[in-house]
Amino acid sequence: MEIKVMENILDKNDEIAAEVNARLSARGIFTLNLMGSPGSGKTSLLEKTIEALRGEVRMAVIEGDLFTSKDADRIAGHGVPVFQINTGGGCHLDANMVKAGLDKLDLANLDLVVVENVGNLVCPAEFNVGEDVKVTVLSVTEGDDKPLKYPLIFKQSAAAVINKIDLIPYTNFDLAAATADITGINPVIALIPVSCRTGEGLDCWYDWLKTQIADKKRRT
């Protein structure tokens, strides 16, 4: 019975996610579901991306968190539209939440919508929110064992951003081992090591993202 209820929830969520994606795709908007643990650097990556692509990519953010608007306030400080969703303890966003958020955005003037999901390596991977792709941020301070412990999120992601690589000398994080584990789970994933603090590798992230946006425009 429990399995059947979960199947029904996921089926209904997928129906709404398809509506969300269709609505965004009709305008050629690329939609990214950004996932990762608390403290992995999702918001920092967004802040760097907003500043780097300012004037080139018209972006909005749907910000998911359990409580507070701290991350949304940071994003708003960069002058981009942002809509806060507080789940009140829920461990992920769902498609219906994102659908409601779209009504608060001027879709006619956007190229990119980023959904920053609740910090979690488990639940967000199971729920499509209408995105074109999922991206997971993994920080080196979390340890290189995380991909094998939480394989689903990496299996479903189009890219994995390995953040805080400037801290590798001060940790036991093995980048080669993490790379092998992630590509073993998902052979076609794009692996992008970066440091949001120093800027190392961020150009590769920007190029990857701009390519996805351009490809979406061409398909529309």
pLDDT at 3: 56
202-220: per-residue pLDDT in tens? Answer: 999 999 999 999 999 998 8
131-190: per-residue pLDDT in tens? Answer: 999 999 999 999 999 999 999 999 999 999 999 999 999 999 999 999 999 999 999 999
Amino acid identity, residue 89?
G
pLDDT at 88: 85
pLDDT at 146: 98
76-94: per-residue pLDDT in tens? Answer: 999 999 999 998 888 899 9
Is the Cβ–Cβ distance between 213 and 27 less than 8 Å?
Answer: no
Task: Give the Cα separation of 94 and 101 in Å (integer).
Answer: 11
71 phi and psi angles, rounded to 5 deg:
-70, -40
Give the mean model confidence (pLDDT) for residues 3-14.
72
Using a cut of 0.85, tell me whether the model's pTM lies above it: yes
- Containing 171, the helix (H) or strand (E) segment is none
Give the confidence band of 1 by pLDDT, cuts at 50, 70, 90.
very low
Positive or negative: CA dihedral 124, 207, 196, 140: positive
Give the confidence band of 66 by pLDDT, cuts at 50, 70, 90.
confident
pLDDT at 4: 57
pLDDT at 11: 87
Give the mean model confidence (pLDDT) for residues 7-25.
90
pLDDT at 215: 96
CA distances, 164 to each of 39, 92, 192, 199 (Å): 11, 24, 11, 10
Average pLDDT, the chain: 94
Task: Give the Cα separation of 185 and 150 in Å (integer).
Answer: 10
Give the mean model confidence (pLDDT) for residues 99-113.
95
DSSP string, 191-215: EEE--TTT-TTHHHHHHHHHHHHHH
- Which distant-in-sequence residues (6+ apart) come within 8 Å of 172 by Cβ? 143, 144
pLDDT at 8: 73
Instruction: Identify the structural domains of the chain with CATH numbers, from first to last.
Output: 2-219 (3.40.50.300)
pLDDT at 7: 65
Give the mean model confidence (pLDDT) for residues 98-123.
95
Give the mean model confidence (pLDDT) for residues 38-54.
97
The length of the chain, given as a count of residues? 220
Per-residue three-class SS string for 78-117: CCCCEEEEECCCCCCCCHHHHHHHHCCCCHHHCCEEEEEC
